[in-house]
Structure formats: C-alpha cells, structure tokens
Amino acid sequence: GLDKAVEAKTGLVVDPYFSATKIEWLLDNVAGLRARAERGELAFGTVDTWLAWQLSGGELHVTDPSNASRTMLYDIHRGEWDGELLGIFRVPRSLLPRVLPSSQVYGATARNMLGAEIPIAG
C-alpha cells in the first residue's frame, strides 16, 4: 500500500510529522490555497529554503537533498522530487524548491539586505 511505496522511495514512514501531509492538508483546507498553488503563486520550503528566499530578496527558491528528503516527497534513490508521491499527496510540482548539492553556492544576498552581495551556500 501507500506506506510501503512511501518508505521505499523516501526511507520515511507515513507520518504527519513530515511536510507532505501538512502541505496536502493546507491545500485542501485553506480557502483558495490549492488554486493559488496550481497557478504557481505559492512556494513551499523547509527552513533553509525560507532563509535563502529571505536573504536573496525572493530570488532563490532552493533546498538541498538532506532537507528535501524530510518532506516525504523526495525520492532519495533518484535524487529528485517524485511524481508519484506528488500525485498521491496532490502537491503541485511548482510549489517545490530546486534541489541543489549541499556544497554549492546558490546565489547571493540581496544587496540591500546586508549592504553587499554575500554568497549563499549550502
């Protein structure tokens, strides 16, 4: 069933602790949220994604594999968001950040944030 498919791809047990079930609940229970997500008006991420977004002035919507792997939507064997899991939890792909290696420079802070462009890296 669902539990085995999720565990085989993510290494996680189906649990509301992980992001997939929370995203699904929000999209199903907050008026207009699913429509906005499907139009590409929303972005999801873990705390690293939020920090990169804030520091870059909204230019970076990124995460790394270790954080992506805790969402219950990321196939740890293929190293990518999993289409089947996105379908099961009804999460639009456009909501999710790009997954980049942890050892990479992702971009820079917005100049007005800290007075200079400072690299944002994993």
Tens of pLDDT, residues 26-84: 999 999 999 999 999 999 999 999 999 999 999 999 999 999 999 999 999 999 999 99
Percent of the chain with pLDDT over 90: 96
pLDDT recorded at residue 1: 75
Q: Domain 2-121: what homologous superfamily?
A: ATPase, nucleotide binding domain (3.30.420.40)
pTM of the model: 0.91
Question: Residue 96: which of 62, 53, 51, 59 has the closest Cα?
Answer: 62
User: Tell me, what amino acid is at 35?
Assistant: A
Q: What ranges do the domains of the chain cover?
A: 2-121
Q: HSE of 93 in the Cβ direction (CA atoms, 13 Å)?
A: 9
Rounded-to-integer distance, Cα 85 and Cα 111, Å: 38
